A and B are shown apart, each in its own frame.
Chain A
Amino acid sequence: MSAGANQPEFSPNTFTMDGIEIPFKDGQTLMDAALAAGVYIPHLCHHPGLTPHGSCKLCMVDIGSGRASSCTTPAVAGQQVSNNTPALNEARRTLTQMLFIEGNHLCPSCEKTGNCTLQAMAYHLGMLEGHFPQFFQRREVDASHSTVMLDRDRCILCELCVRASREVDGKNVFAVAGRGITARLIVNSPSGKLADSDLEIDDLAAHICPVGAILIKAHAYEIPIGWRTFDLRQIDEIGPEKVIQARVGHTDD
């Protein structure tokens, strides 16, 4: 490919990821451009349309000699990005192991199993075990709400529910309080309980949780274990819509 003397060597508004040319619109992040092009970058705290949070670091990519979160990094024409490399996937696996051992992720007893993005990520990265000593933290369960259940044991503090409530539902039901190991999801209500918040079953915040921390009551086992989204397909094989459907618990194939 030889470009004319005054021409850039790349097409305008594309960058290259793992050798594939990906188009982007001005202002788009690497993540959103990749998702739009159907290219999978592992991610847990990102949801198209919500303000990027940049906290889980699963989406890190190598750009030249640097490493950055693709969900917060604007795409630049001609960038050379590496995503699916053994070194990055190894680092992602370690981060995923830390998420597992920090919370209480006993998948066989979890309603979300098979539809859980964290679990699917672990499968995708070939994680066989947690590697680090388990924290076995005791965290509070809030079953006070009539239709929505909050089990903080499985919360990975991705703040998707926090952002969905503020940015889409026009409410402010959730927040993360504390720092480091004391960081925890809190409910903005006088009692701190979900029942006293204005969360409703149709809110995006009630459905967006990627793990089994926010669950809709009484619908857990409509699809049997073994037939759920990530029982049938790997997370990188399905588009973002299906990952989101899995969150909400629908599996239509």
Chain B
Amino acid sequence: MTKIRIATTSLAGCFGCHTSFLDMDERLVELLEHVEFDRSPLNDIKHCGPCDIGLVEGGLCNADNVHVLREVRANCRVLVAVGACAINGGIPAMRNHFGLGACLEESYLNGIGVEDPQIPDDAELPLLLDKVHPIHEVVRVDYYLPGCPPSPEGFLSVLGDLLEGREPVLPKKLLHYD
């Protein structure tokens, strides 16, 4: 039986959603009988090939996030926005209250405990976006799995529905935003 191919990525997130995914513990072994991973921080594959499902953690805070998101979207038949940050920007979007310049100055020049103050400008660093955005503002998103992070049961519920060819419906007791 061909396995369902899944890509995962963490953009402007904290890897908490990925950690929660791994928290399904031994249920992961059973899941791996039905799925295999493409690009994912879990296996360190960097680029995305054709996949059935893409799980995207985190919102968009820089140009690289947008690039990765577009690559994942282009390769995945079904894209799932996972967690608060992918869905509405989450905690990183708290910087949207301030200008980008003010954020950089606070972090790298005037912040408490800063030594050798300078704003990083290496050409290898991705350019920051003016504001942090949820992913549905840039690509089409097929399903949403809220939570900060979503519980392992939430992942299993959405993946279980998709594996069985059903439209995912998150049970009410698994729906939470925190």
Binding site for B on A (CB under 8 A): 100-101, 104-110, 113-114, 119, 122-123, 126, 128-131, 133-134, 136, 138, 225, 231, 234
A107 touches B81 (CB 8 A): no
For residue A84, give the distance in angstroms from its CB to the closest CB of chain B: 15
A105 touches B88 (CB 8 A): yes
CB contacts under 8 Å to A, within B76-94, are: 81, 84, 87-91, 93-94
Task: Known contacts A106-B91, A108-B91, A134-B134; decide if A123 and B84 are in contact (CB<8 Å).
Answer: no
Q: Which of B93, B94, B177 contacts A122 (CB 8 A)?
A: B177
Extra inter-chain contacts (5) besides given A109-B91, A126-B175, CB under 8 Å: A106-B88, A123-B175, A129-B146, A130-B134, A136-B89
Q: Which of B90, B93, B137, B170 contacts A128 (CB 8 A)?
A: B170
Task: Known contacts A107-B148, A128-B144, A134-B134; decide if A119 and B177 are in contact (CB<8 Å).
Answer: yes
Q: Interface SS of chain A: helix, strand, loop or mixed?
A: loop
Mind listing 29 A-B residue pairs with CB under 8 Å? A101-B88, A104-B97, A106-B93, A107-B148, A108-B84, A108-B90, A108-B91, A108-B148, A108-B177, A110-B178, A113-B177, A113-B178, A114-B178, A119-B177, A122-B177, A123-B175, A126-B172, A129-B141, A130-B87, A131-B136, A133-B137, A134-B89, A134-B93, A134-B133, A134-B134, A136-B89, A136-B93, A138-B97, A234-B172
Tell me if B176 is interfacial: C-beta within 8 Å of chain A: yes
Which A residues are in CB contact (< 8 Å) with B97?
Answer: 104, 136, 138
Tell me if B19 is interfacial: C-beta within 8 Å of chain A: no
CB contacts under 8 Å to A, within B119-178, are: 131, 133-134, 136-137, 141, 143-146, 148, 170, 172, 175-178
Q: In the complex, how many residue pairs between chain A and chain B have their CB atoms under 8 Å apart?
A: 71
Tell me if B110 is interfacial: C-beta within 8 Å of chain A: no
Which B residues are in CB contact (< 8 Å) with A114?
Answer: 178
Among residues of A, the one whose C-beta sits closest to the C-beta of B169 is A126
A49 to B131, CA, bound (A): 43
Which A residues are in CB contact (< 8 Å) with B172?
Answer: 123, 126, 234
- Scoring B88, B141, B172, B175 by chain A CB atoms within 10 A of each residue's CB, the highest score goes to B88
Among residues of A, the one whose C-beta sits closest to the C-beta of B175 is A123
Which A residues are in CB contact (< 8 Å) with B148?
Answer: 107-108
Among residues of B, the one whose C-beta sits closest to the C-beta of A135 is B96
A129 touches B84 (CB 8 A): no
B136 touches A136 (CB 8 A): no
A106 touches B90 (CB 8 A): yes
A110 to B175, CA, bound (A): 17
For residue B56, give the distance in angstroms from its CB to the closest CB of chain A: 13
Which A residues are in CB contact (< 8 Å) with B94?
Answer: 106, 109
For residue B80, give the distance in angstroms from its CB to the closest CB of chain A: 10
A128 to B148, CA, bound (A): 13
B177 touches A107 (CB 8 A): yes
A129 touches B136 (CB 8 A): yes
For residue A187, give the distance in angstroms from its CB to the closest CB of chain B: 20
Among residues of A, the one whose C-beta sits closest to the C-beta of B81 is A129
Q: Which of B88, B96, B133, B176 contacts A129 (CB 8 A)?
A: B88
A129 touches B93 (CB 8 A): no
